[in-house]
Structure 1
Amino acid sequence: MSLSQQRRFPRRETSVRASRDFVIGVLTEWRLTPLIEDIRLCVSELATNALAHAVPPGREFAVQLSAADDLVLLEVRDSGDGLPAPREPDDKSCSGRGLYLVTQLAAEFEVDHHGVGKTVRVTFKKP
């Protein structure tokens, strides 16, 4: 059986917390609580990046969770330019570790570019 839930968030600082709350609620409803901490951290990083780098004023970003078979898929879609790319963390830098952490926690990481915007897709294996 395949499950899917999506929610849109406005370009506001409070949307990062709201996106974390959304995934916690969905994963709890689906009884996938062992994945909550990893997916909560990943959605927090991806939502923060969307707000900081990709969501133009007056626009929104979307978070979608899907589950089927042995995988859970987290997608964050925005309407901004640019393609995020994970990089090795620099010991001296105070930022730039978010996507690196996401790639370490997820089974797969990919970015799909659209005519307008992109979707960052992260896959997790069910416990």
Structure 2
Amino acid sequence: MSPSQLRRFPRRRTSVGASRDFVVDVLTEWQLTALIDDIELCVSEPATNALLHGVPPGREFAVRLDLADDLVHLKVRDSGDGRPEVQHPDESSCSGRGLFLVGELAVDFGIDHHVVGKTVWAAFKRPAKP
């Protein structure tokens, strides 16, 4: 079992679902099925943002999962210059809750800006081993 898995996705609508499938497959391989629901939901937000705001035409975005002693790290990197921010929409808003939700489900999360692009990352506590 590799402690790190990475997959690149093209700039297509189907890539958001494919990124969720990737997360489910990796977490199943790692026998961390208790984390599937949270991480599958959390990958959707940065993957969707990458498609809508971050991936220039002809480029891809990458989803990476890293397994550490007590954490699983989810990272979504794109090459766009967008600057995602946590929003606090009111109850009548139809959008803007994604990164807020990631922040609520993860034990930690952030956005790293690079010379080209950015990485949205989140860390999740691994369940205790029986």
Q: Structure 2-normalised TM-score?
A: 0.94
Cα distance between partner residues in 2 of 1:126 and 1:11: 31
Deviation at 1:2, TM superposition (A): 7.0
Matches within 5 A, 1:1-127: 3-127=3-127
Aligned residues: 127
Cα distance between partner residues in 1 of 2:19 and 2:89: 25
Percentage identity across paired residues of the two chains: 71
Letter in 2 for 1:100: F
Conserved? CA contact 1:73–1:122, under 8 Å: yes
* Deviation sequence 1:48-104 (CA, Å, 0-9, x none): 011011111111000000011000000000000122111213112111111111110
Name stretches of at least 5 consecutive residues in structure 2 with no aligned partner: none
Q: Output the aligned Cα RMSD.
A: 1.2
Letter in 2 for 1:61: F
Name stretches of at least 5 consecutive residues in structure 1 with no aligned partner: none
Letter in 2 for 1:113: H
Displacement over 2 Å in runs of 4+: none
Conserved? CA contact 1:7–1:62, under 8 Å: yes
